[in-house]
């Protein structure tokens, strides 16, 4: 006789939601988490603030998942952004909306989300065992019957929900275990690769401006000389290249192109609100204002201080030249630089440094109505282990919670 009816493997966003929903549906549930506590990745997300979801109309969410957004269509409607915020409010977590529709806890503390999920598990009677990693799935005649832990103990149940995460931030427990289990169980795994990851550049001048954050700029991605996409918002220079929200969103496409051996460039428009003509007029006004100054001292109003020496060097204009001696051609060169500062992208950081993993269990082998495996009876999938990934802005956590909600509910209903 089985000790449990549903076993959930992994105590992140998807796993905790799945376990609680299964228990709420009347099942006797065990949650196994390999780390010493639940929600390790939630606790560090959003720089410790946790961007839970987005207030955008849920019907528009799909376009923000470059990885199999259509698979999530009914899943997101089953547990949408409003339902998630209501759920958290029931556990004392009030939320607020920031720029770009991003939703955060009012406390700006991701730990409040972890505590709310832990309270949910207590309220629904889920048994939680931390420090237990699953070593093997037990299958009998095409039906999962339980798992074996690293403590050599067998945990038996007619339903298992696998929510082990991807391969990003392995220190939180996401070490790709789920992909190994998926292959052993006969599932196809789409090659895991980094998504939402900083980019390395060939240009070394980025070191001179590392730590500089730019707001209200446009970054466009160019592959083999053709524009492939653009994002407006914030970015950050690092000692190895670039990071920040718009870079992370462009990184998945950049990484895919690099793996195909293609030439990838990032072009930064530092003044996207102005047309070339408007920017030229603005520059000429500044030149008139500082007409007796040297060029290097006449562009303080246009650029952050640390970027000025780099921009001057790239423009090849003599920094000591008097402003009124700057030629029309030199001015045009400088204008192009301001609206097309170009960096050569050489590679992404590793998957371990990525916020999200692209790739995972093939969605064609998962029933979106239940999150049940089409390969093994009694097996369910939810969260980042599935081949679904979104851009920044709260979309990935919303997807994880929604998949967990559906998997837990379905597992309890089908017992």
Residue pLDDT, tens place only, 340-349: 999 999 999 9
Same domain, 162 and 211: no
Same domain, 181 and 228: no
**Is the separation of the CB atoms in 198 and 247 below 8 Å?**
yes
Q: Is residue 1 part of a domain?
A: no
pTM above 0.85, yes or no: yes
> What 3-state DSSP class applies to 105?
strand
Whichever domain contains 391, its CATH number is 3.50.50.60
Q: Is residue 165 part of a domain?
A: yes
pLDDT for residue 60? 95
Same domain, 249 and 338: yes
Same domain, 20 and 160: yes
User: Looking at the DSSP assignment, which residues form a beta bridge with residue 130?
Assistant: 33
Same domain, 331 and 284: yes
- The overall longest dimension of the chain from CA atoms, in Å, is 90
Q: Is residue 13 part of a domain?
A: yes
Same domain, 165 and 215: no
**d(C-alpha 160, C-alpha 372), whole Å:** 10
Same domain, 290 and 313: yes
Domain boundary among 329, 348, 367: 348
* Domain enclosing residue 127, as ranges: 6-193+357-413
| Token pair belonging to 100 | 């770009």
Same domain, 188 and 211: no
Domains in the chain, number: 2
What's 75's DSSP letter?
A: H
Q: Is residue 306 part of a domain?
A: yes
| Token pair belonging to 203 | 């240009």
Same domain, 123 and 270: no
Render 222-283 in DSSP notation, one character per residue. Answer: EETTEEEEEEEEEEEE-SSEEESHHHHHHHHHHHHHHHTT--EEEEEES-TTS-HHHHHHHH
> What 3-state DSSP class applies to 88?
helix
**d(C-alpha 345, C-alpha 64), whole Å:** 23
What's 322's DSSP letter?
A: B
Q: Is residue 46 part of a domain?
A: yes
Same domain, 34 and 181: yes
For 149-197, write each residue's pLDDT tens digit: 999 999 999 999 999 999 888 888 888 999 999 999 999 999 999 999 9
Same domain, 44 and 188: yes
pLDDT for residue 1? 53
- Tell me which residue has tokens 């530092």: 270
**pLDDT tens track of the chain, all 415 residues?**
578 999 999 999 999 999 999 999 999 999 999 999 999 999 999 989 999 999 999 999 999 999 899 999 999 999 999 999 999 999 999 999 999 999 999 999 999 999 999 999 999 999 999 999 999 999 999 999 999 999 999 999 999 999 999 988 888 888 899 999 999 999 999 999 999 999 999 999 999 999 999 999 999 999 999 999 999 999 999 999 999 999 999 999 999 999 999 999 999 999 999 999 999 999 999 999 999 899 999 999 999 999 999 999 999 999 999 999 999 999 999 999 999 999 999 999 999 999 999 999 999 999 999 999 999 999 999 999 999 999 999 999 999 999 999 999 999 999 8
Domain boundary among 325, 348, 371: 348
Same domain, 375 and 334: no
**d(C-alpha 191, C-alpha 224), whole Å:** 24
């Amino acid at each position: 006789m089985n000790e449990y009816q549903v076993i959930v493997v992994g105590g992140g966003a998807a796993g905790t939601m799945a376990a609680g929903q299964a228990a709420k549906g009347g099942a006797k549930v065990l949650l196994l988490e390999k780390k010493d506590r639940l929600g390790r990745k939630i606790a560090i997300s959003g720089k410790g603030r946790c961007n839970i979801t987005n207030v955008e109309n849920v019907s528009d969410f799909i376009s923000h998942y470059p990885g199999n957004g259509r698979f999530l269509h009914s899943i997101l409607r089953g547990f949408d952004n409003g339902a998630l915020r209501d759920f958290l409010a029931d556990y004392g977590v009030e939320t607020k909306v920031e720029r770009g529709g991003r939703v955060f806890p009012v406390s700006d503390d991701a730990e409040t989300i972890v505590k709310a999920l832990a309270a949910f598990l207590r309220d629904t009677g889920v048994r939680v065992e931390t420090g237990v990693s699953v070593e093997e799935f037990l299958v009998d005649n095409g039906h999962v019957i339980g798992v074996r832990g690293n403590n050599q103990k067998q945990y038996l149940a007619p339903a298992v929900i696998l929510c082990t995460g991807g391969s990003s931030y392995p220190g939180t427990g996401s070490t790709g275990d789920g992909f190994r289990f998926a292959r052993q169980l006969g599932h196809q795994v789409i090659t895991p690769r980094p998504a939402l990851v900083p980019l390395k550049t060939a240009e070394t001048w980025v070191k001179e401006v590392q730590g500089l954050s730019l707001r209200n700029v446009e970054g466009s991605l160019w592959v083999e000389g053709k524009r492939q996409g653009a994002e407006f918002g914030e970015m950050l220079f690092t000692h190895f290249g670039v990071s920040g929200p718009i870079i992370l969103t462009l990184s998945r496409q950049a990484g895919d192109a690099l793996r195909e051996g293609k030439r990838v460039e990032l072009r930064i428009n530092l003044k996207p609100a102005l047309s070339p003509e408007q920017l030229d007029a603005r520059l000429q006004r500044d030149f008139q204002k500082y007409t007796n100054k040297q060029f290097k001292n006449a562009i303080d109003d246009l650029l952050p201080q640390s970027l000025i020496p780099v921009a001057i060097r790239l423009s090849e204009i003599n920094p000591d030249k008097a402003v009124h001696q700057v030629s029309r051609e030199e001015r045009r060169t400088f204008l192009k630089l301001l609206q097309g500062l170009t960096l050569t992208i050489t590679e992404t950081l590793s998957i371990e440094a990525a916020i999200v993993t692209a790739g995972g269990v093939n969605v064609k082998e998962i029933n979106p109505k239940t999150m049940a495996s089409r390969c093994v009876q009694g097996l369910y999938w939810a969260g980042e282990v599935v081949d679904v990934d979104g851009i920044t802005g709260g979309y990935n956590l919303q997807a994880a919670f929604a998949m967990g909600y559906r998997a837990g509910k379905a597992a309890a209903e089908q017992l």
